[in-house]
Structure 1
């Protein structure tokens, strides 16, 4: 049986929101690095801006793309680099699913901390600094750490049908029921998406 065609994805950018005039100009942020976890090959891969055509070839296979705030951030930033509209890909945005249930947004760090007992290794501004300083190993580590956390949250939710988060000030822990599964094989991916 083949492994499921799922890609967990996270993007780091070259610029800050302030430098591009805010959230309305996501495409101007420009990709510095795309981190991925590929279920089919059980491997983490990082793609520099110049390597996005390699990523595009993987995305053309129509995998389920799993991310955290990926619909509103990662995919719009990635869109100018692709020869197709990434909105056509099957997607599971963990943050979006939690927001639908909770009625408010939660951060990756708050979900990671409350659900997995782990923290992010930094923030997006650190990633921009690494890019500008040419610190590629640090940039890859930071991005792939976020990919690993997102993958682990996705898998925890699939197994336990719940995720946890901390309040904005970290003093209370909340619970969020979730309904997704991890498809058993490549053939099950389209059925998985039909649930959302």
Structure 2
């Protein structure tokens, strides 16, 4: 029997909530870059907006899509490009939503990465939006490479947090007061 293909996934947008009239309009935010890591191929793939259909196909074909807030953020962004009902036509583990059910609040990926792995994210979504604007202004590929690198690192961190939770049966994080905490996961 073939091994299960887990696809880790993240994307960055072209526009902010303010640019599109609020969080109800995620489908208008546009994707600047999407990144996946497939356990079947052992490779990262970087998708620009022109390859969004290939990205959607990879997600739909995956045995499991693992992300951080991808069901309520990334998928609605992709809905602007596809007729697939992504949350219902994919098998998902949204670690943030899973942890929110247990903890009662939304944990940031950076908090789980720091607590479990001793790592921090390399940037944030606002940096990616600035880089997108720089790309649109200059046409230089350099800002697009920064977005791709940042997004790929987020996918790597997501993968490592998931693997940590699977291996240890728990996730460690720091609470808002900076105190170390942990919670059991069944991933």
TM-score by length of 2: 0.91
Q: Distance in 1 between matches of 2:145 and 2:160?
A: 22
Q: Greater relative contact order (Cα 8 A, min sep 6): structure 1 or 2?
A: 1
Q: Structure 1 regions of 5+ residues with no counterpart?
A: 181-196
1:109 alignment partner, SS class: helix
Shift of 1:62: 4.3
1:144 paired residue among 131, 141, 152? 152
2:156 is the alignment partner of 1:153: no
CA RMSD in angstroms, aligned pairs only: 1.2
What residue number does 1:72 align with? Answer: 72
Give the equivalent residue in structure 2 for 1:178.
Answer: 185
Q: CA separation of 1:158/1:100 partners in 2, compared to 1, >3 Å: closer, same or farther? A: same
Counterpart of 1:11 in 2: which secondary structure? Answer: strand
Moved over 3 A (4+): none
1:18 correspondence with 2:18 = yes
Alignment of 1:1-196 (within 5 A): 1-88=1-88, 89-134=90-135, 135-169=143-177, 171-180=178-187
Cα offset, 1:66, TM superposition: 0.4
Q: Where in structure 2 are there 5+ consecutive unaligned residues?
A: 136-142
TM-score (norm 1): 0.87
Cα displacement (A) at 1:56? 2.4
Structure 1 residues 123-147: Cα deviation after superposition (integer angstroms, max 9, x where no partner) = 1011111122221111110000000
Q: 1:143-191: per-residue Cα shift (whole Å, max 9, x none)? A: 000000000001110110000111224x2111110001xxxxxxxxxxx
Aligned positions, number: 179
